[in-house]
Each structure stands twice: as structure tokens, then as C-alpha cells.
Amino acid sequence: MSQDLLPFPSCTVRAAPHWRAIDFISDLHLQATGRATFDAWQHYMAQTPADALFILGDLFEVWVGDDLTASPGDADSAFALQCQQTIKATSARLPVYVMHGNRDFLLGPDFARDCGMTLLPDPTVLDFDGQRWLLSHGDELCLADVDYQHFRQQVRSEAWRQTFLAKPLPERQAIAKNLRTQSDARKTGGASYADVDTAMALAWLEAAQASTLIHGHTHHPADHVLGEPNGRTLRRLVLSDWDAGAKPPRLEVLRLQTGIPPRRIPIAA
């Protein structure tokens, strides 16, 4: 695989000397109509004992622009402000990092600044506990979903972004609602979604000189062994999505701690 096809060199976050525990979450898909999931997330944000938090994409079900928080009286705007206040309170006591997902890729620097959190490129390397951990949302690695990859390439372009954000907020909200409706229809119709391409995941790990890839997006939490070249085990750790209304609820944190293997920690609904 050609190196010019890989999104490297990537950003590297070096853990502060006092970090002993780091939390990872993704795919919360927060929205005003999902109060139970929001409440569980808000409680977690206030209580986590972690020294740093990484949100690896799709914090929000949809994000149509940072001006969402500047439209008083709109239910989505009021909810965005509530989320902002929650993140800001957490970032006052520990660093919060966020990566774009396929639903909230328009989340911008203004909102990040107002929350006190740091936007990360995808992928990013975390240097912690003597290891290099490769972090990604994961959608770029799902190569078999050809239609989505074409769509992703289109909407991630600066030209598309500028054109979309220039539209009035109500129009952007209507477009987002229509896209959500189409997505829900595909889900109820039994559409299957592509998983991460193993060859590409291995190429990313090699390029990043990392042994473990941590990602979300697929909503299939699992620990995968990708191979053991030269006696070095290469892994892929998939984060859980969050849905307090599921039976049973899906609310989980992946925690790295110095000296012990990664742990999956359930969060009370």
C-alpha cells in the first residue's frame, strides 16, 4: 500500500507526567430528544476520575455549524448550549480532546474554544505508558462502504464546507433532518455497514509505529487481534456507542491506566 494514501504524519499527544488514567468514548450521538443518554453522559462527565478524556467522534447526532449556540429560542440551540456547559465544566479540571466523526464533522474551532476542549486531527497518536496508541473515529477505514467514502470525500472538502455553512441555519437544520431520516430508513431496512478494513488498519499502525488502534464508528465494541509480526501483537479496540434507551443500555467507557491492560467500564443509565 502506497504511503501517500495514508493520512500521516499524524498529530501526537504526549501524556502529561501525572496522567495515570485516560478515558475514551465515542458515538454518543447526543441530541435534544435523547435525554436519557444525555443525562448519563452529563453525570459521567462530572464524575470521571480520569486525568484526560478523548472523545473519538460523533459526540453529536448532527452538527450544522458553531453558530447553533447563538440562536436563542431554538430547541437544538438550547441543547447545544447545555452540552457546551457540561464540557466546559469538565475541561476546567481535566483536558478534553475531541475528534470529528461522520455526524459532527462540521464542529469547529469556535465551539471547541467555548468548551475549553482541543480538536484533534484524525488520526492522532497518543504517547502514554511507554506505548504509542493510534486514535481514530474509524470511518475512513471502512473501505468497503464505497458510497459513504465518496460522500465523505465530498463533504469534507473546504468548498463544500463553505457552501453549506453559508446557508441560513434553518435550511442547514432541514438538510440535516432529511439526511437523518434517510439514515434511519436504511437502518430499519436492514442495511449492513462495512467494518474496518484490516489491511488498512495494519498499514496505519505501521505508519504510526503503534501497536494498538482505538476507534469508534462501527457500533460493534470488541477487541481484535490483527496480527503478530515479529512477536509484536497488533490490536484494534472498538469503542461502544451510547444509547441509554437500548435493552440493555449501551453506555461504556474504555479506560487506559498505567501498568494494566485497557478496561471497559459500564456507566449507569
Q: What is the pTM of this model?
A: 0.94
Domain count, the chain: 1
pLDDT of residue 2: 42
Q: How much is the average pLDDT of 190-219?
A: 91
Q: How much is the average pLDDT of 121-135?
A: 97
Alpha helices in the chain (DSSP H): 35-47, 75-91, 109-115, 146-155, 158-165, 169-188, 198-208
Structural domain span for residue 43: 3-266
CATH of the domain at 202: 3.60.21.10
Compute the distance between CA of residue 24 and CA of residue 257 in angstroms, rounded to an integer: 12
Q: How much is the average pLDDT of 22-32?
A: 97
Question: Which stretch of DSSP H or E encloses residue 120?
Answer: strand 118-120
Kindly state the DSSP code that residue 18 receives in the 8-state scheme.
Answer: T
Q: Is the pLDDT of residue 1 over 60?
A: no
pLDDT of residue 191: 63
Q: Is the pLDDT of residue 129 over 80?
A: yes
Compute the distance between CA of residue 47 and CA of residue 86 in angstroms, rounded to an integer: 12
| Four-CA torsion 60, 65, 66, 72, nearest 10 degrees | -90
Query: Where is average pLDDT lowest: 41-55, 94-108, 220-234?
Result: 220-234
Q: How much is the average pLDDT of 97-116?
A: 97
Convert the pLDDT of each residue in 60-86 to its tens digit.
999 999 999 887 678 899 999 999 999
Average pLDDT, the chain: 92
pLDDT of residue 268: 85
Contacts of 11 (CB under 8 A, 6+ apart): 120, 121, 124, 125
Q: How much is the average pLDDT of 104-118?
A: 97
pLDDT of residue 189: 62
Number of Cβ atoms within 10 Å of the Cβ of 133: 25
Kindly state the DSSP code that residue 101 receives in the 8-state scheme.
Answer: -
Number of Cβ atoms within 10 Å of the Cβ of 44: 22
Q: Do 121 and 9 touch, CB atoms closer than 8 A? A: no
pLDDT of residue 3: 46
Question: What cell was used for 108?
Answer: 469547529
pLDDT of residue 33: 92
Contacts of 175 (CB under 8 A, 6+ apart): 64, 164, 167
User: What Cα–Cα distance (Å) separates residue 195 from each residue in 150, 200, 216?
Assistant: 16, 11, 11
Say what percent of the chain tops pLDDT 90. 83
Q: How much is the average pLDDT of 178-205?
A: 81
Compute the distance between CA of residue 237 and CA of residue 199 in angstroms, rounded to an integer: 16
Kindly state the DSSP code that residue 51 receives in the 8-state scheme.
Answer: S
Q: Is the pLDDT of residue 229 over 60?
A: yes
Amino acid of residue 154: Q
Q: How much is the average pLDDT of 161-166?
A: 96
| Four-CA torsion 112, 268, 32, 47, nearest 10 degrees | -30
pLDDT of residue 261: 95
Q: pLDDT-derived band of residue 95, with 50, 70 and 90 as boundaries?
A: very high
